[in-house]
Chain A
Amino acid sequence: MAIMKTSFMRHMLKRGILILFSAMVAVYATVLIANMGGYVDQIIKSEIYMTVSQSVRQNPAFRYLNETQYKKLVEEIYNNELRRLGFDKPFIYRSFNYWKDALTLDLGRALFLSSESGSRSVRLIIAERLPHTILLFTTMNIILFFIGLVGGLALSRKYGSVLDRVVTMLVPLSSLPGWFYGIFMILIFASFFGILPYGGMVDVPPPSDKFEYALSVLKHMVLPILSWLIAYSFFYIYSRRTFFLMFSSEDHVDFAKAKGLPESIIQRRYVLRTVLPYIITDFSLMLISSWMGAIVTETVFSWPGIGSLLYAATNALDGPVIVGLVVIYAYLLAITNFILESLYGILDPRIRTEGGEIGIA
């Protein structure tokens, strides 16, 4: 199979390394930005202080000290620790340690927030909520992708019809983000009619039966998905349809028709297949922006994912969680990029042989 060709593998390896490199630099940039006000340092320092005073307090050898002596001891150990960890040197030295931690996802402990199980490990807090975000947004994006593809293909055949004009008219709806419509969806369906939930992922208390649980989750997914569909379907259908129109009157489609190939094959192999690489590129950009849109959407719908976590952490000024989330997002973006570039490579043979300078990446 073509995919197994060494040239393709070499290309993907090269891309993979570059993407990884980008992610690493992005994470480092995050560390630098986060500490521009000495913020990260502050967090670490107060953690150290807490750890030191705790360990001193718990050490039986020091039990008989009075308050002043005790405090002095803690100060001494604390300052030693700071020196040991390089706090007397410029930040740049420490930044590499933080960088290593961030890259290995050793994200430290939260200040105020905690996970369901009560742990303060930032990694755990995030890991708990990540699957929920993936569930909701992967579903949304897949639905939108297919609506756009099928709708766009169908609409491109009816160019100039009433349907075409109606869809074109509704395209500006997408200038308002999905969560914006979400607010109104809640107003209408939850507040006014009361038939769908205000937010959250499952009913409270959650049903114990697995099937009912799944149904409950589905019920809670209706409004978020609906709001995004209203916002983005028309735009997706319109841009796909435009793509198809631009490419379907191309010479190779005419030639395929002259070859006596049936319409279904022409649509699939000549129109769809040639345009697919560009659609994937477009989709990747939409996917990336959806990660961003997810933040507010989750907040509006109280969906327990990493977006609403970011909101909560922002409100609580929980620095470690915020920084940890930015790192996670960077990784998510890198992974998404890589998957989509692989797809593009499979679909467009020009990339594999020409060293990848033509296409998107």
Chain B
Amino acid sequence: MTTIPWLTILGIVPLVGALVLLVLPRDNVRLIKQAALVFSLAALVLTIVMGLQFDADSTAAFQFVENYPWIPAFGISYAVGVDGIGLVLVALATTLVPVTILAGWNDVQEGQSVKGYFALILVLETLMIGVFAATDVFLFYVLFEVMLIPVYFLIGRYGGPNRSYAAVKFLIYSLVGGLLMLAALIGLYVVSAQQLGQGTFDFAALVGLDIDPTTQKFLFLGFFIAFAIKAPLWPFHTWLPDAAKVSTPATAVLLIGVLDKVGTFGMIRYLLPIFPAASEFYAPLVIAMAVIGIIYGALVALGQTDMKRLFAYSSMSHFGFIALGIFVFTTWSMTGSTLYMLGHGLATAALFLTAGFLMQRAGGSSAIATYGGVNKVAPVLAGFFLFAAMSAIALPGLASFVGEFLVLLGTFSRYVVVAVIATLGIVLAAAYALRLYQKVATGPESPHVEGMRDLDGREVTSLVPVVLLTIVLGVFPAPVLDVVNPAVDRVMDTIGMTDPQPALAPAGGEQ
């Protein structure tokens, strides 16, 4: 179709940006930040151009495909390409990076390297694009693991108190998953070598394998645990609240908003198509974990006294919805999960960034009790905060609602009881989000809030795109659905699943 290596260019732009930052003079902080913003915006523009060229009706599994041999001895290639799901998540990443750069303009404290902070964010952007675009499982794994390093430094160097503990906890948890995945990955390679003569890591070839169910179950577990730690699902979630608590708002947005999606993305892209039998076998277990996560995360969020930890637990609850949608094997729920990933990414950005602005004005405290009556002194900030809270509740008309609704619809069509229990999560979400807003923004002004200045132009500019996207996708999700649906249909095809009530109208009709 096209000979321009779009994805490679897109991936390289932030990396080049990071290198440029490194050679800029250390003292010219302003120039460093501007350069970072320019490169991240360039990546966003490229993504938009790609999105316009993306052919939603194409019959090819992947578009913008590139494939070059990398380590032929093990059938490893540099192979990239995106389907609708990949494209949506790449777009999420390239949208949120400039937003976080702008919002995190003054994140770096005195005495720390500004250069390092923004260079790490740009490197992370390259890796995020790569991980969603990889169609070679080995390449995916490499990027999946390497991604840990910039995040580790972002948390460990630039985070709040207790950051090195949180950074190490994050890294060790992720490495446990990553190494189990490595073992499973090599196992998969050995199976492919036995069946095809020459081993391969090519995604399409691996999907075509006929792996015996017992082997599938073992390999599935290796991948699944890695993804469940990344996403994170109950009971693999304990690293998340610590990491979220100490991260800067920008890091937290990228970590929870984008990086954690790699886990759920991996489930749709790799687990289901490559291990269909095992996915079916383990589906009840995963659904149980997801539902427990939904309720448990929401309940624990209700009890938090710290905003960031509250957001972390609420995210865990939302990840439960996403995983649920994937493992009930219906077109609606899977489409819903993809949309939910997008919606949750935006909601997370809104939450962490507004909370970050609040904290900056109150000496960095993330304790809920610090705040009160913000809407009297800083009405704009309080307004955005309310919007963020609504978006976390998945208010109808906002992006996360579409995803949540589709997931529940799909779940209901297969497992009524599960859907009913999961719906309780929404009620709890309303409870913790409204309670949070009430304590922070309403009531008498707390001493920390007095004289708080409202958002300035830069801060509003960083939030507006998130708000607009949340509303647009909530009211008119059709373009995204059009892109995602063929990809989801293909996944359903490869796992040999059909929707329980095919008579109903296909997803997309609820606008």
| A and B are interacting partners | no
Interface residues of B (CB under 8 A from A): none
